[in-house]
Structure 1
């Protein structure tokens, strides 16, 4: 009995009912390989790699959109991450992950490929899944830190120049990729990461802080007068990329061991090109 996964792909790609005798000759090998694919897919959670993160505007100038007379779909134009190309900046819609999976399978198999090509592609798929399975086991990365260890309300700043924030209270540091001496998280493997920062500020003060990757601005938070800010993004990182938070000149930030935080974790590893 041919596996349900293979039948789904074959149906979607128009392979069911093929009359090529070579396909029948290789049927046994294909069945064995598809069984192996199913086993490996279960090990790596059988999900496609799909993630996106987008900001509303590409301009760095303060810009207000609206008010509107009617409901409006917001089109986020600055694409930070779009793994799988599921997000469309023209429509602001996310394609269904099920459709992406079938599309991925169809592109892998190819409706007009001869049977020997299909067999080679299945072998390649097995090898890829085996690598993914190994990565899933070895690539466990997550950290969450607070700015200060003391529980008393403490204000840092206003600072005279941009300053990297060094978060001292470690809540979680699986993989030891966050450095408490420098405040820098260094990606141990290539992959899709989720990163978030939160911050609070004291009375009559202003907070402006930003997440940076290798010196590149990714996103910012702003707050004033005992307010708070939070922001996050899904970000594709190469092995060795450095991510950290910079407090901008003239800004201040407050904490009491649990209010101003920096958090990140590996969503899934990705194979290097």
Structure 2
């Protein structure tokens, strides 16, 4: 701000001169003022468009989810981050607040045997994370960048007949964030 004041005073003092250096200084000052205004406008555009969340199935203890007869939505109750409040720990749904490109990741853990979950957009299976391990724990991961309209819903569904497991080490997670608006 001091720099702008000094430039303005200098310009006023030299306004009567036809010196090219004074003209260049005025042009530089005008450019600087416009750049500042553009930066302020850009900051106000991006304010409030911050969207990111990360959640796991349980906050305390441990629990097995499934098997279910049909594909079933998973509700991630332990929310570590929910900037923009677009993820609901009641429904397990992420609802896009803005049109834009978003990135999502899911990690699923199961005890012995198979585990699998779908990344779902508006009731359409997008990608499957799947693991078949004959013993011990099994884990699978998947990620996707999706173009979403405001109001589109993204969730994770457990594949029918399979299980997922989580504990306080938060092995089964669902995360996402806004990359940029469109």
- TM-score by structure 1 length? 0.51
Task: Say if 2:68 is the partner of 1:156.
Answer: no
Larger radius of gyration: 2
- TM-score by structure 2 length? 0.74
Q: CA deviation at 1:208?
A: 1.6
Task: Say if 2:140 is the partner of 1:140.
Answer: no
Asked if the contact 1:196/1:231 (under 8 Å) is kept, the reply is yes
Pairs within 5 Å for 1:103-252 = 130=41, 132-152=42-62, 154-203=63-112, 205-225=113-133, 226-252=137-163
Per-residue Cα deviation, 1:210-246 (whole angstroms, up to 9, x for no partner): 1111112221100133211111122221111100011
Pairs within 5 Å for 1:7-22 = none
Runs of at least 4 residues off by over 6 Å: none
Query: More strand by proportion, 1 or 2?
Result: 2
Q: CA deviation at 1:167?
A: 0.5
Per-residue Cα deviation, 1:105-143 (whole angstroms, up to 9, x for no partner): xxxxxxxxxxxxxxxxxxxxxxxxx4x543311111111
Distance 2:76 2:155 in 1: 10
More relative contact order, 1 or 2 (CA 8 Å, 6+ apart): 2
- The gaps in structure 2 that reach 5 residues or longer are 1-25
Q: CA deviation at 1:202?
A: 0.8
Distance 1:222 1:32 in 2: 59
Task: Say if 2:174 is the partner of 1:265.
Answer: no
Distance 1:37 1:144 in 2: 36
